[in-house]
Amino acid sequence: MLKKYRTHIIFFAVSLLLVSYWFRNGNTWGAGETGNPFYNLSQMLAISGWAWGNQILGGSSGLTVASVPVHAVLAFLQQNGVPGFVLQAAFFFIVLYLSLYGMYALARELFPKYKESMWLLAAFFYLINPYSLMNIWNRFLLNTVLFYALLPLGLLIFIKGLNSKRYYYGLVLGLVTVLCSYAFGAPAQTIIFWFILFFTCFFYFIFFEKSWFVIKYFLFTFFLWLVFNFWWVSQQIYFRLSQTYLIATNLFFTSSGNLDALTFLSTILGKVQNVLLLQHGPFFKEGYNLPFSWPTFYSLIPTLLLQWLVTLSILAIAIKKIKEKWILYFLTVFIVGVFFVKGNAPPLGELFTLLFQKVTFLQFLRNPFEKTGILLALGLSPLFGIAIYEISNYFLKINIKLSKLILSIGFFYVLIFFGFPFWTRLVFTSTNPPTDTLENGYEIKVPNYYKEADAWLKSKDGLFRFISLPLGGEGIFNNWEKGYPGVEMSGMLFSTPSISYNTTIPFYTELVEDIEELFLTQKDFYKVAAIFNVKYLMLRDDINFKLGNMRDPAHIEKVFKERISEEASIQKEGEFDKLKFYKFNDDVFLPKIYPSKNVIFTDKIGDLKNLFIGGYELGDVILDTSYINDFQDNSKSYVLHSRATFEDFKLDRQISNEPGILPYVGRISSDKKYPVVLFKERMTSAFLLNPQRKTEYLIELLGKRLGETQKAADIQDYGSAKKSLELYKKALPETILAIKSNSFFGKADVQIWRKSFVGLMFDTHLAVLDNLADKTKDDSYLINLISELRVGLIKNSQELFITPEFGVVEDSTLKPERRWIYQFEVFEDGEYEFLFSDKNLDTYFEIPEEILVQVDERIDSRSFSKTQEGYITLGSFSLTKGIHEIGFNYPASINLLDSPKEVQINAKNERSLLKFPVKNFAPFSSYDLSFDYDIKKGSGIYVALEQNIDMEVEGNFKYAFEKYLSPDEYWFETKEFQQAFTPSKAADSLELVLFADPWNDCERSLGYKPSLCKNKELKKTFDRETEVAISDLKIHKLPGNVFLRKFQNVAIKEVPEVEFSRENQTKYLIKVEDSKEQFLLVFSELFDRGWKARMVGDNKDIDETKHIVANGYANAWIIEKTGNLDIVLEYAPQRFLYIGYLISGTAFLAGLIVLILVRRNKI
């Protein structure tokens, strides 16, 4: 009896012992992108169980709804008293057991003639191998962990159906995928799963049985899987087709960006020597500062030799036994895995790049090692078991003890050689503290004060959010007893939604990046809080702000104290140890749903500064300028941003001879081999798949045509010159289109691809054409063609915002020195006030009493003054609808360093260091650093900029900016240094640091044995003085943004009374009383076309053209009906989710009944 269940007992015991050891301290685990889901599983269910999640500003749950069955069961158990760590231990027990048993049973099914030792070896190798150590266990993505465990089991069930010709197994597989649907939370895993099953069918059809059953079985299984999992598949499809997803992919991902990411990752992760060993190259080579640098053990020469010996043996034996069809199958899976995992690295990298570009869904392979590496483990695991078994069997003929030794070595290789990080928990450590210690690892102990704060927030009436300060990016480092580094997890810790981090979500990321700056700089910050439905600000003082690149909480607390003493709109209300809560008064709080009053129009809706510049009052709404005609009567103000800035623009053209702009020319068009040159260029261009590289090549070819024209004109071969110039004219549109395709054109935000390079191209080409015009002035055709090309180039440079629309106006009183020109698009005639965003402009620049201003093509004289709100202005300009440019020679900047005119650094026996604080430091600005230096003797000088959030590691600062200025080997003279620098937005102070070390030639002097220099005392005897003279130290603040503003005289608008109730997070019931005219109904959840508004009694939703973006992120509907209204707001995909739950639930129950009946031979 025990023998029959021996394998199960082994796997059960191994899994139980592991989780008992891992979770012995009674803490849940979390890290990286996972967070800590087992802390509050009910909250995880609330996030994933609905089509719309209420975390941060709300969002579609399309990617997380697959986890509902797992979260529902676990949340139920947690609510009934089972601790989170026990549930997580149970989850890992199941994963470990499934990983082992799935591969064991798969090997036993396909290789029945082999013995149990082979099946066990395959199972343990699948559980513990270089790929799984890093990408499964160390990375700690729980849905990926479950998918890894499910894959061999799913493949086993599927193959059983093929072998037995029974559709029954398709049903079993469908039911299993429902129970493990959490594994399909990432689209890549769904694709890999069905790729494996499709490939298996294809292989089976080719090598086993060319039968219609194979095809029908695959389609049947896929259909059942689709029906059983319809609830989450339908949400995934909706999300992929939604406007939010399309905007996100356009904003944050591009084909060229994806290809660049693929190429970069393929270069470092796709080396064949690493792929064949299943190794993540950098992880195992560098160790990433993990405890004991344990990954580097596998990069030592002896361990590498052992791994190569094993891998080559596996492949050699697999090739030798390739006639066995299932061996061929797994070998093919492994080879296909190698092709995908290495990405576009050689060999066959060009083929992969072609597929990546042409097959859209392959864009998910930006990180091919991460996404498809599982194919390597799946393919190699059974082959490993077979190889060890075959070698052991070979030695069985010689000596039975030797045969057993080989088997023992095989188990040692997996269980000890690869297994020691697994058994010791080393695999569950990472680079960042506190997970960089074996004692802590991925264990988390969330302080009790989080539960207290969560309960306190839940006790408050109404729907609201809170903002966490300091506010950082996706990552956070919590200083707890068992600390946590990973994704910011306020959404898991609190039931109340919050804005606690920034991430790449459309309509969200632009707004959130301004929140902390406005909190620090605007006393009436309640305006920002109001549009986000925020009632509380939470100060968190339990973070490592330096590691997280966040602002020092002490500085924020200081600002809170100042605000409380200065104004009555915010007061401290709650404190829970390291968490402090500050509440806005009710009279400055806006509910989640409200009617708007007046409208502030802007061409950059994602900039929160519009609130303050546009004169926002509670209840107003910010809209894009495209809605001007719809709300003309409610227009309160216009805030226009500069759509293009021409910084320090000069009239003199810069000419470049660099090969990428004006390459060397060997032949002209009259040369007999010229057609071959053109053919080669066309072929090269056709095979350049990277859009950016192709654009560079097209620019290079344009320059080549000009070079040919120049060369032909020099020898007065005007025929050749004409031909080359005509080819230039023909190629120019394609090149301009390529530049535009790589650029971003927003209403008030234009980002030109490699703008300085493109500008240099235009300057050079125009200069060359001017030169050609002089050389060919006797040829009228060429003169006309050159003139036409000049006009076209200037027009294109203006369209690409390389040169101003109206050029640079100058006269005797206004020379183009430090000329800054700002271009605006005005949407309505009127008087527009020109404002500087920096209220302290006079702190950083020497403001004159009067300044000459270029307005389009005329020159005006203006004076600087201050508005009532404190903005510096140049007054109002009368502008008509259309494009306008305002420029002036920027006032001289003030040096922000108090330093002597000249300083000397002398490093004799130790490092010599000087520090100079930057006065009036503003973290949300950019700076220019410059000085002259003369290295008189010794080594060079280091220049660094130190922020208060910079980390100190082993006594040395990790500066945000640091550069070594080395001595020249030939020229010994004074040199200039200049560097633009943008500090972290989280910094509160900045210092210039200059330091030098003594010159030391120990290693050169002891070249016969440089290792002696490791002796510090000996090395110090070789120190010689370094002497550097530094003069004219300057740090200047660079100019900030500017705006145009126009106020309207608008009548006080009477808005209706609006009340609402929430049925659930996807449905709201609204009552509007006494609406007398059209108004805008604002709903402060992240804009999504899935939200629909419907008048009660109507059979259709309010027209989608009336559904617009308000306040930069929120949903709003233009309500035209008057009187008393009942409106239903509902997230439409929730209807599909209800249907999906019904379909999947019914299908699952029916499938379960059929399964039971089949098992009982009833059908």
CA distances from 525 to 57, 511, 563 (A): 18, 14, 10
* 975 and 1065 belong to one structural domain: no
pLDDT level of residue 1162 (50, 70, 90 thresholds) = low
Angle 325-341/374-396 helices, nearest 10 degrees? Answer: 140
How far is it, in rounded angstroms, from Cα 250 to Cα 244? 10
Q: Are residues 1029 and 1068 in the same domain?
A: no
Please report the sign of the dihedral spanned by the C-alpha atoms of residue 662, residue 666, residue 672, residue 675.
negative
Distance CA 7, CA 26 (A): 29
Tell me, yes or no, whether 959 and 871 share the same domain: no
Integer Cα distance of 50 and 65 in angstroms: 7
pLDDT at residue number 399 = 84
pLDDT band at residue 348 under the 50/70/90 scheme = confident
**Residue 1057 Cα distances to 534, 646, 1075, 1123, angstroms:** 21, 48, 8, 11
- The answer to whether position 75 is within a domain reads no
For residue 110, CA distances in Å to 103, 160, 173, 974 come to 11, 9, 18, 76
Q: What is the pLDDT of residue 490?
A: 94
pLDDT at 569: 87
- Tens of pLDDT, residue by residue over 272-306, are 889 999 999 899 998 878 888 999 999 999 999 99
Within-domain flag for 457: no
Query: So what's the pLDDT on residue 807?
Result: 86
Residues whose CB falls within 8 Å of the CB of residue 1020, separated by 6 or more in sequence, listed in order? 909
| Token reading at 483 | 């600390």
Q: Is residue 653 situated within a structural domain?
A: yes
Contacts of 893 (CB under 8 A, 6+ apart): 844, 845, 846, 928, 1036, 1037
Mean per-residue pLDDT over the chain, rounded:
91
Is residue 30 included in any domain, yes or no?
no
907 in the same domain as 785: no
CATH number for 941: 2.60.120.260
Q: Where are the beta strands (DSSP E) in 382-428?
A: none
**Residue 240 is encoded by which pair of tokens?**
């992929």
* Predicted local confidence at residue 632, as pLDDT: 76
Chain segment 15-37, per-residue pLDDT in tens: 999 999 999 999 999 988 889 99
Please list, in sequence order, all residues whose beta carbon lies within 8 angstroms of the beta carbon of residue 1050, skipping any fewer than 6 positions away. Answer: 598, 633, 634, 635, 636
Whether 952 maps to a domain, the answer reads yes
Which range is least confidently modeled, 323-337, 556-570, 834-848? 556-570
Q: Residue 510 pLDDT more than 70?
A: yes
What single letter denotes the amino acid at residue 668? I
106-115, 241-250, 436-445: segment of lowest average pLDDT: 241-250
Structurally, the chain folds into a number of domains equal to: 5
149-153, 490-494, 670-674: segment of lowest average pLDDT = 670-674
Instruction: Choose the weakest-confidence range: 252-261, 322-331, 898-907, 1007-1016.
Output: 252-261
359-377: pLDDT as tens digits: 766 777 778 899 999 999 9
Three-state SS string over 708-747 comes to: HHHHHHHCCCHHHHHHHHHHHHHHHHHHHHHHHHCCEECC
Same-domain check for residues 669 and 776:
yes
- On whether both 1101 and 1033 belong to a single domain, the answer is no
Domain boundary among 1007, 1038, 1069: 1038
* pLDDT tens per residue, range 1141-1154: 999 999 999 999 99
pLDDT band per the 50, 70, 90 thresholds, residue 693: confident
The Cα 1115–Cα 238 span in angstroms is 19
3-class DSSP assignment, residue 840: coil
256 pLDDT tier (thresholds 50, 70, 90):
low
Rounded CA separation 1059/308 (Å):
71
pLDDT, position 264:
83
Residues 932 and 834 in one domain: no
**Is residue 898 scored above 80 in pLDDT?**
yes
Our measurement of the distance from residue 20's CA atom to the centroid of its chain's CA atoms, rounded to an integer in Å, reads 37
Residue-wise DSSP of 217-283 = HHHHHHHHHHHHTHHHHHHHHHHHHSHHHHHHHHHH--HHHHHHHHHHHHHHH--HHHHHTT--HHH
The predicted pLDDT at position 44 comes to 93
Task: Give yes or no for a contact between 641 and 1041, defined as CB atoms under 8 angstroms apart.
Answer: yes
- Evaluate whether residue 373 is within a structural domain: no
Q: Tell me 345's DSSP state.
A: S
What confidence tens digit (pLDDT) does each residue in 752-791 have? 888 889 989 999 999 999 989 888 888 889 999 999 999 9
Report if residue 304 sits inside a domain. Answer: no
pLDDT interval class at 2 (50, 70, 90): low
Q: Compute the Cα dihedral for 154, 156, 162, 165 and give only its sign.
A: negative
Boundary-marking domain end, from 980, 1008, 1038: 1038
Average pLDDT of the residues in 300-314? 96
- Please compute the mean of the pLDDT values over residues 731-741 and round it to a whole number: 92
**Number of CB atoms found within 10 A of residue 455's CB:** 11
354 or 965, which is more confident: 965
pLDDT at residue 325, as a whole number: 96
| Domain assignment of residue 776, given as a range | 649-799
Q: Which pairing describes strands 465-472 and 498-501: parallel, antiparallel, or unpaired? A: parallel
Cβ(710)–Cβ(771) under 8 Å?
yes
Q: Alpha helix (H) ranges present in 254-367?
A: 255-269, 272-276, 281-286, 301-320, 325-341, 349-358
**324-357 burial, b for 16+ CB within 10 Å, e for fewer?**
bebbbbbbebbebbbbbbbbbbeeebeebbeebb
Mean pLDDT of 86-109: 97
Neighbours of 320 (CB within 10 A): 12
**Domain shared by 1033 and 928, yes or no:** yes
Is the same domain home to 1031 and 925? yes
Which band of pLDDT confidence, cut at 50, 70 and 90, is reported for residue 1019? confident
Position 743 pLDDT exceeds 70: yes
Question: Residue 1017 is inside which H or E element, if any?
Answer: helix 1016-1020
Tokens of 690: 């990277």
Q: How confident is the model at residue 253 (pLDDT cuts 50, 70, 90)?
A: low
240 pLDDT above the threshold of 70 = yes
Cα torsion at 327, 329, 333, 335 (round to 10°)?
Answer: 70
| The pLDDT value given to residue 585 | 94
Q: Is residue 624 part of a domain?
A: no
Q: How many CB atoms lie within 10 A of CB 1123?
A: 10
Token pair listed for 193: 């799963």
pLDDT digits 0-9 by tens, 400-428: 889 999 999 999 999 999 999 999 999 99
Same domain, 785 and 866: no
Same domain, 662 and 780: yes
The residue out of 767, 799, 831 marking a domain boundary is: 799
Q: Are residues 702 and 654 part of one domain?
A: yes
Q: What is the mean pLDDT of residues 565-582?
A: 90
DSSP 866-902: E-TTS-EEEEEEEE-SEEEEEEEEPPPBPP-B---SE
Neighbouring-strand partners of residue 462: none
Percent of all residues in the chain with a pLDDT value above 70, rounded to a whole number: 97
pLDDT above 90 (res 1158): no
